Amino acid sequence: MHATWLTDAVCLTEAGTGFWRLALRHVEIREGRIAALHADPPVPRAGEMVMAAAGLLVIPGLVNAHTHSPDNLIRGSAPDLPLELWSLHSAAGREQRSPREVYLSALLGCAEMLRGGVTTVLDHIRFSPAMAPETLDAVAQAYRDAGMRAVIAPVLADRAVADTMPLEPADLAGLDIAAYGSRPAMPAAEQIALVTDFVRRWHGHEGRLSAAIGPSAPQRCSDALLLAAGGLAARHDLIMHMHLLETQAQREMGLRLYGRGMVAHLVELGLLGPRLNLAHALWLEEGDLDLLARHDAAVVHNPVSNARLGSGTFGLRRMRAAGVRVALGTDSACCNDSNNLLETMKAATLLTRRPDLAPEAWVTPGQVLSMATSGGADVLGLGAMTGRLAPGMAADLTLLRIASPAFAPLLDVVRQLVLGETGAAIDSVMVAGQLVLRHGRCTTLDETAIWAEAQALAERRLRLVLCKPGISGSNAIALPTPSTGLDRMVQALQGYTNGTPKAPRVFARHSPCLAPADYSTSSVARFCPNWKMISMLGRRAQAVSRPHRLQC
């Protein structure tokens, strides 16, 4: 029986949600699981590996419950815009990826997350124009090769892009958007068949890889597709993962499509339940928190991307008070702009601290650490396997050097870990008892080769995309073609991104999103081939924005 001992380790164990205990222990690992945490020195048998862990802090491996690995290859390309506008401009970089590009993009995230102490991830993988068996397999193979624990949720969507946003017919009148905005999606039945085959090939592979069902968001899916996805998840006992109410525009779409809030619609479809987890959930209606808690649905909080995209305020304190299960996610490296869950933990802690709240009402570092470990594992359906440093659990461990800036002097380890550690102290990472990071370097991956190939692929794509003359360097990726109409869609959506009723849908120097800069000179405007041709439309178009009763 394969066994490893971590001797003289300072172990951080959870003693109830949000409460943590430090103790010097000798960790016994057998067949990839924690066999025991010994107070007395071990007597290893012949052939058992002993790893001296004196001076190392051992914590449960972190769980990143929401990211998109295909976006790792377009890190740094996204402009400073709200979500819908950002999405339209970042779409080009995800187009027509080869399996090799998909594989490499996932490996980039693996290397970064392992260096940041993440052992488990949910990857909500989206492809454009459509998923294919070889690209799905490329993602799974990347996590297999990296040695990470991964839940892979292929994105499902069957509504055209223009039909998922609160646009009026006049917004796009006379414009051909067939190349992107109205491009038909793969039929729902074909998507379900592809994901079903993926589940059969990869779910449970090596005990580390799991499949999940990943509808993009309610407004991007027909009810028929949502119901088919829910049925597939139920048949295979899988979680279902989707975005929900990330922006005001999405709330507006829900009201238009369903005549009620999206959470209530999910209840009506019979989809709100323990296997469903929802990323973001910012723009909720009155009563939605009670519905989420009553049906035991979970929410994944992505504080950095929410702030980066100006999406809104997440009511973490209210979620917890209502009894809603909450995990943490980084979101994609194109809208975060990293896969650093330590940074996410700090943001989640500090963003609850409002001047009108007594300090005792603030969310604590210990509570956030629980969300990033046992809470995240529970939300991903892995609570019986990982997320805790305890006998019987998988040996998914992160080891940090105590002799490092964040912990010198060591006075309050949880506070210093959550609010002070950046990843610089991470020495080693184990997944299922296997060292996948040692002395700060991945043992399963050639990081230098991965980074070099990623740079070469990015530069090759830059030579292929359509850029205006004179635009080069770090401005990265242009729109797919000059005829897709994305720039007009961007203008038409402006009124839904700033939270002001009847705000003009126009990018100009008075836009709350971009003030005081003049949008016409921004890096985004320079990538719009027919921007001047449609500027008049943006100046006269007006948003129809409903008052919002609850921004949770």
**pLDDT score of 213 more than 80:** yes
Type and span of the H or E element at 248: helix 248-258
Q: Which residues pair with 118 in a beta bridge?
A: 62
Mean pLDDT along residues 194-212: 97
**290: confidence class by pLDDT, cuts 50, 70, 90:** very high
Instruction: Decide if 364 contacts 418 (C-beta within 8 A).
Output: no
Model confidence pLDDT, tens digit, residues 101-122: 999 999 999 999 999 999 999 9
List the domain boundaries for the chain. 464-540
For residue 104, what pLDDT is reported?
97
Nearest residue to 73 (alpha-carbon basis) of 332, 300, 344? 332
**pLDDT score of 496 more than 70:** no
For residue 20, what pLDDT is reported?
97
Instruction: Decide if 296 contacts 311 (C-beta within 8 A).
Output: no
For residue 180, what pLDDT is reported?
64
**pLDDT score of 548 more than 80:** no
Give dist(CA 460, CA 466) in Å, integer: 12
Give dist(CA 439, CA 425) in Å, integer: 10
**489: confidence class by pLDDT, cuts 50, 70, 90:** low
Q: Which residue has the higher pLDDT, 504 or 224?
A: 224
Mean pLDDT along residues 19-34: 97
Model confidence pLDDT, tens digit, residues 510-547: 222 322 233 333 333 333 332 322 232 233 232 333 44
**pLDDT score of 13 more than 90:** yes
Mean pLDDT along residues 444-468: 83
For residue 465, what pLDDT is reported?
56
**pLDDT score of 381 more than 70:** yes
Per the prediction, the chain carries an average pLDDT of 85
Model confidence pLDDT, tens digit, residues 338-362: 999 999 999 999 999 988 889 999 9
Phi, psi for residue 9 in degrees, rounded to 5: -90, 140
